[in-house]
Every structure is written in structure tokens, then in C-alpha cells.
Amino acid sequence: MRQALMLAVAAAVAAVAPWPQAMAQTEDPVAADFDKFRAIMEEANPAELFEAKGEQLWRTPRGPKNASLEQCDLGLGPGVVKGAYAQMPRYFADVDRVMDAEARIVHCMITLQGFKREDLAKKPFSSATKTPDPVSITTYVAAQSAGMKLAPQQTHPKEKAAYEIGKEIFFYRAGAYDFSCASCHGVDGQRIRTQPLPNFTRPEQAIRAIQGWPGYRMTGGVMHTLQWRLNDCFRQQRFPEPDYASEMMSALLTYLTVNAQGQEYKGLGIKR
């Protein structure tokens, strides 16, 4: 009888034993091991193959207008690529809106080279057999900001407005699951299976929204940019898909990047 009681007490104690502590002991070494081997793999990252392809696409005259992208202004003047990615999203007077890197590249492909938006937006994300050109070009552009501090512009009123709109999108709950970005990424200590989820409202964790993108994704062996990553978050929330390279995506990226400003962007990554 006494023994049974003790067993019951032990079971009850076990049931309320603090989970987080147990997780810290058993799960975090796994995450640390993942990080270690990811770092080893980033020393020779297949993303570099797409960077090389993107550079070639940037320099080669293409499209109906047979022009290269070397006159594309990424915010630092026509043709200046180095450091441009770390300073986006930013306001562009010629379109009177805030653009993230990929949105700007798509804009240049349309205006300078004569490509059609509908064509570029038709299948904008990489598959096992095809990597869309804007993905390779964004990869090339991003790689030229490796080692630089994130400095998204917040001077123009539209840049400030984009931050506020992005913030609203981040916290907006809707859909079949009544989810928001913040449901997963606005609180501490969340995880999906083996993946710890960063809290993007905390400056020191916000960098993890940007770091490692564009990234070579081991699943499928494909190259993806932040456009894909955010799109996939909406898919998982069971939201309607956002428009590719839209103002709304630039606004959300503004919110995430500004939260991480001042931190170092390490360049192309390897993702699960």
C-alpha cells in the first residue's frame, strides 16, 4: 500500500517535472551537433555553384532588350553589388516603394532586360530540376555582402511605414489554424521536432531570420531565397500564398531585417 502510494507520488512528480530542463540536457547537444556539422559543410557550400551562375547571369546581355544587369541600381548606384544586400530593403525613388533585394532584381530584369513579370512570377521557386534566374542572381548579390553588418534603411517615411506594415503582418492572426508568424516566432523556447525556433521580436535572435539565406537546402538539394522561406511560412500557416516579390513581402522583410540591424550577415548558408 505504502509502496503503491510512493509510486503514485513518483509518477506525479515525473509528470510535472520541468520539461524545459530535460530538453536543455537532452536536446540541445543535438542542436549543437547539427550546428557543428553545418559549419563544416558551409566551408564548401554548393550554394557557391548558384552564386557563380548568378554572377554570369548578372553580367550576360539577356532578355528581349539584350542587356546585362550591370546598370541595375541596388541602392548604391548602378552596377554596385558589394554591400547592397546588407542595406536592403530600402526605398527606391524610381518606383516610389520599398524593395527587398529579390524584388529589386526582378524589377531590373523587367525594366533593363525586358522580361515579363508574369513569366518571372509563374514559377518563382527552385525545384529539383530548375533554379529560376532571380534566385541565382539574388544568391550572387547576397554573397557580395558576406561579413557586413545589416543596415536596412529607415530614413524615408515609406521605409518607416514598411516596418510598421511588416510588424502588423507578423502579428496578424488568421487562417484555418488561427495562426500568425508570431505564434511560432514571437515567443521564446518554441521548437518543431528537432528545430529550435528563434523569437524574431528579440534583436539577438532576429538575425536568424536573415542568416543563412539565400541558402542551399539539403532537402531536395535546391537553392532558396528569403522569398521562398517566407512564402513557405504562409503555406504552413494555411494562409493564401503571398504574391511573389510583392510590396507586402518587402514590408515583412523590412520588419525582420530592421529587428536584426547592426548584426553581421555571414553570407550564403546551408539549410536543413
Partner 1 sequence: MQQSRRSVVRAGGALALFAALGGALLRPGRALAAWNKSAFEAKSAVDAMRALGMANAEESKDIEIRAPDIAENGAVVPIDITSNIPGTTSISVFLEKNPFPYTGTFDFAAGAMPFVHLRAKLGESTPVRVVVAAVGKFYTTAKEVKVTIGGCGG
Partner 2 sequence: MADPMKIRATVQGDVADVRVLMAHPMETGQRKQGGKPVPLHFIQTITAQLNGKTVFSADISQAISRNPVFAFKVKGAKAGDKITVTWKDNKGESRTDETTIRGGS
Binding residues for partner 2, rule: CB under 8 A, are 41, 43-46, 48-49, 52-53, 128-129, 216, 218, 220-221
Task: With contacts defined by CB under 8 A, name the span among 16-24, 113-121, 147-155, 191-199 that binds partner 1.
Answer: 191-199
Query: Cβ closer to partner 1: 104 or 224?
Result: 224
34 binds, among partner 2, partner 1, none (CB under 5 to 8 A by kind): partner 1
Q: Does 127 bind partner 1 (CB under 8 A)?
A: no
Query: Cβ closer to partner 2: 152 or 267?
Result: 267
Query: What is the rounded distance in angstroms from the CA atom of residue 114 to the CA atom of residue 32?
Result: 47
Query: What is the rounded distance in angstroms from the CA atom of residue 37 to the CA atom of residue 136?
Result: 25
Contact yes or no for 141/105 (Cβ under 8 A): yes
* Residue 109 parent element (H or E): helix 101-111
Whole-number minimum distance, CB 218 to partner 2, in Å?
8
Residue among 54, 212, 214, 267 that touches partner 1 (CB under 8 A): 212
**Active-site residue, from 72, 108, 184, 233:** 233
Whole-number minimum distance, CB 36 to partner 2, in Å?
17
Please list, residue by residue across 96-119, b when 16 or more beta carbons sit within 10 angstroms of its beta carbon and e when fewer do: ebbbbbbbbbbbbbeebbebeeee
Q: Does 148 bind partner 1 (CB under 8 A)?
A: no
Dihedral angle of Cα 20, 217, 104, 108, to the nearest 10 degrees: 180
Whole-number minimum distance, CB 263 to partner 1, in Å?
19
53 binds, among partner 2, partner 1, none (CB under 5 to 8 A by kind): partner 2
Query: Cβ closer to partner 2: 137 or 260?
Result: 137
Whole-number minimum distance, CB 189 to partner 1, in Å?
17
DSSP classification of residue 181 = H
* Catalytic residue flag (residue 184): no
Whole-number minimum distance, CB 233 to partner 2, in Å?
25
Contact yes or no for 242/190 (Cβ under 8 A): no
239 binds, among partner 2, partner 1, none (CB under 5 to 8 A by kind): none
The backbone torsions φ and ψ at residue 147, rounded to the nearest 5 degrees and listed phi first, read: 85, 0
197: its cell numbers? 525556433
Pairing of strands 222-224, 212-217: antiparallel
Q: Does 34 bind partner 1 (CB under 8 A)?
A: yes
Contact yes or no for 147/265 (Cβ under 8 A): yes
How many Å from the N-terminal Cα to the C-terminal Cα in the chain? 52
94: its cell numbers? 524610381
The catalytic residue positions are: 233
Contact residues toward partner 1 (CB under 8 A) are: 30, 33-34, 36-38, 40-41, 44, 192-195, 212, 215, 217-221, 229, 232-233, 236, 270-272
